[in-house]
A and B are shown apart, each in its own frame.
Chain A
């Protein structure tokens, strides 16, 4: 399954909203449990990735509620509201529907 992320880079003003999309080449919605097998990660320079969201929309404990995930089937979105300086990072989507797990190519988020 190919995960296509867009845009490659994004510059947003502080306090504004950032939107990153991820499209899978086939559905990642599992009919047995009606769950979308998509996760989002944040990676700051020199650090490993950090899990933000699983099941397309479930925020991990401790992740600020300005981070939200949405979508179903093949189209997914990560939205960061009220952008803060500490949100500057590389963001990755990932599917775990297939046992050959794949990531998107990443989106670099910067402050405008």
Chain B
């Protein structure tokens, strides 16, 4: 069965500090990987995605993620966070399951940036 595990439900961090949000997945098929951000009372916004090619993917707002196939991980990083980065972050995996394309989400990581 396919699954996505976000290892931290909450990550508190001070402003301007670096942050890493961890994501591991399990799948027996080729996958595409995504990070979405959800600000309070809003829908999901795509941060970045890995489809193929370079394993280091750069996204919006200064975020980047690295696909590690051997460790089945897709951790999200930012070298210096801002207060405005406070939000819920979802890792997701997409693949062909049971005949249709499916997006499976992790439980989310709440990033709280403190001044």
State yes or no: do A and B come from one complex: no
A interface vs B, CB < 8 Å? none
